[in-house]
Amino acid sequence: MRVLGIETSCDETGVAVHDSARGLLAHCLHSQIETHARYGGVVPELASRDHVRKLAPLIREALERAQTPRTALDGIAYTRGPGLAGALLVGAATARAMAFALDIPAVGVHHMEAHLLAPLLEADPPAFPFVALLVSGGHTMLVQVAGVGRYRLLGESLDDAAGEAFDKTAKLLGLGYPGGPAVERAARDGDPGRFRFPRPMTDRPGLDFSFSGLKTHTLNTARREGDAPQTVADIARAFQDAVIDTLAIKCRRALDETGVRRLVVAGGVGANAALRERLAEVARRRDARVHYPRIEFCTDNGAMVAHAGCLRLPGEGSRDDAFDIAPRWDLESLAPPGDAVTAPAAGASAPGAGSRG
Ligand code: KG4
Ligand code: ZN
């Protein structure tokens, strides 16, 4: 089965063609970093407009690179949620219109499911069951994954997501947008011994996270210590060490509590090299393995959507000419492909603009 995948949940337009027998045939990405950089964060209306401008040309390019005429497609997958409502609408409308014109089925996939299955695109994919650490701009979750659509939430952030904490910290340290890579760069020159920030919620049992206090701690330190370049680097280092240590402690706990020996890390923060090093160490000590998508598939992309679509389309594709989105959509509500899907119905999904994936 050959599927076109479309990702437009936030600030990246991603398109890819995935074939269940031959794997990934092509993927194209347009990042909106330049559009949002001057505002220090994602501006939803600008994101939607940019998806409108970029999506059709990217679809043409991906099909050309995959040497796949549109008539050779068996289905289309798009991100249905969670994400920014206006941005999601662009992908959903385009996918449904194209599928209608081609008389093929389309399916709306869950953005976080697409992230957590992304390591299956790699040459040495993880077997089920595994524990997934999902760390993106909108979510921080630990999930026990028994199979596709069989997800048990072990813990999540009670406030800011890890990526969001990186973004806010970068902003308050004057390091620019997007925050994660900027903090990581600054932290490389930081002295690990100068400041020590708290590791939130690690002193009690449980697998939930909280990062907003850490952000306040960073702000107070920055106000007190000033903004000399070395100080900024030292604060970035202390912040990053605290986040990574917290994530590593909870991953270790999740492996111990579930007895599972495979850890999958997905979502934008998974691109962080220091986090990868630290989790490799956790895994080594537990005789476990860590799986990541390749770096470019840690952040948002069309490949993970086309791939999830290949798994979901056979049981769930539909030729509806109506389409819906789910800006807020609980990962645990998903069922295995083909089973009754408990996604929120059209219109029942979310008041408001939704959140970041
Ligand atoms: O998964 P993603 O591309 O988009 C969402 O679904 O949110 O994740 C984006 C997030 C942003 O908060 C970004 O700052 C963070 O991932 N990020 C990083 C790094 N690269 C991206 N955080 C830490 N270190 C990085 N190298
Ligand atoms: Zn994402």
Task: Provide the residue ranges of all domains of the chain, joining segments of one domain with +.
Answer: 2-116+299-333, 128-292
Which residue has tokens 């701009």? Answer: 137
Q: What ligand 1 atom has the least distance to the C-alpha of 178?
A: 14
Average pLDDT for residues 246-266, to the nearest whole number?
Answer: 98
Residue nearest ligand 1's atom 13 by CA: 180
| Strand residues in 210-324 grouped as ranges (E) | 262-266, 289-291
Measure the CA–CA gap between 217 and 197, rounded to whole angstroms: 7
What pTM value is reported for the model?
Answer: 0.93
Q: What is the pLDDT of residue 162?
A: 96
Q: What is the pLDDT of residue 178?
A: 87
Instruction: Choose the weakest-confidence range: 17-21, 44-48, 63-67, 335-339.
Output: 335-339
* Mean of per-residue pLDDT scores for the chain: 94
Q: Which CATH class is domain 2-116+299-333?
A: alpha beta
Q: Reply yes or no on domain 128-292 having CATH 3.30.420.40.
A: yes
Measure the CA–CA gap between 77 and 124, rounded to whole angstroms: 24
- Report the percent of the chain where pLDDT is more than 90: 90
DSSP 87-120: HHHHHHHHHHHHHHHHT--EEEEEHHHHHHHGGG
Average pLDDT for residues 290-318, to the nearest whole number?
Answer: 96
Question: 128-292: same fold as 2-116+299-333?
Answer: yes
Q: What is the pLDDT of residue 337?
A: 93
Does residue 161 have a pLDDT over 60?
A: yes
Q: For 98-147, what is each residue's pLDDT tens digit?
A: 999 999 999 999 999 999 999 999 999 999 999 999 999 999 999 999 99
Judge if the beta carbon of residue 181 lies within 6 A of ligand 1. yes
Interval between CA 195 and ligand 2 midpoint (Å): 31
Q: What is the DSSP letter of 157?
A: B
Residue nearest ligand 1's atom 10 by CA: 137
Q: For 197-239, what is each residue's pLDDT tens digit?
A: 999 999 999 999 999 999 999 999 999 999 999 999 999 999 9
DSSP 137-149: SS-EEEEEEEETT
For residue 138, the ligand closest to its alpha carbon is 1
